[in-house]
Amino acid sequence: MTDGLLALLAALPIFVIFLLMAVLRKPATVAMPVAFGVTLLLALFVWNTYPNWVLAASLNGIVIAFKILLIVFGALTLLFTLRESGAIETIKQGFTSISPDKRVQAIIITWLFGSFLEGAAGFGTPAAIAAPLLLSLGFPALAAVMVALIANSTAVSFGAVGTSTIIGVGTSLDLPQVQSALAEQGVSWEVFIHQIGVWSALQHVVPG
């Protein structure tokens, strides 16, 4: 097979998810098992991966998914606790007393407070809390949502206690070849991951 065809086959599970969820409007409970099945077939019959490797990778995926679900649970718990306890109303009053300037309020709520929420919980929590706060302060609905999402573009690199960088990037790059290359450059693994986080944040904030 050509490199182009192999690249298309490698991206096929992503296309399947997009087709089922974005085009056909199927729920994730349907799209994800189908995409997993496609990935399984590709691994076995295209990449000729050993079945025990496929099983081990699948079990590893379950463990990683469980870790992420724990973080999502914490994010949802934080969100509903703030709502039910009336803390959101108290937070709103506190932000209002800081400055009557709408621009200052937007920066404090979406960028500073939103970054804290992204780092502590992630998974949409900043938008779910910051946007309603702006709305309650008199911001138009569309502006509240847009400002909350744009301001969150920087912190998303460090979201959910660094899940995307530590688990996503760190796990996939924790290879002997990478470790050897870093050793030749005199760079530690911690510094390498830190630099990835910094440059990732810059790439996210520029479009935002």
**Can you tell me the mean pLDDT for 30-54?**
93
User: pLDDT per residue over 127-176, tens digit each?
Assistant: 777 888 888 788 888 888 888 888 877 777 777 777 777 766 766 676 77
The b/e string for 50-89 (b: 16+ C-beta within 10 A; e otherwise) is eeeeeeeeeeeeeeeeeeeeebbebbeebbeebeeeeebe
Three-state SS for 23? helix
What is the pLDDT of the chain when averaged over all its residues?
Answer: 82
Return d(Cα 106, Cα 19) in angstroms, integer: 36
Q: What share of the chain is helix, strand, coil (3-state, %, to 5)?
A: 85, 0, 15
In the chain, where the domains are located: 1-49, 63-208
Return d(Cα 61, Cα 142) in angstroms, integer: 37
- Which tokens sit at 201? 């944040």
User: pLDDT per residue over 43-74, tens digit each?
Assistant: 999 999 999 999 999 999 898 888 778 777 77
HEC states along 58-99? HHHHHHHHHHHHHHHHHHHHHHHHHHHHCHHHHHHHHHHHHC
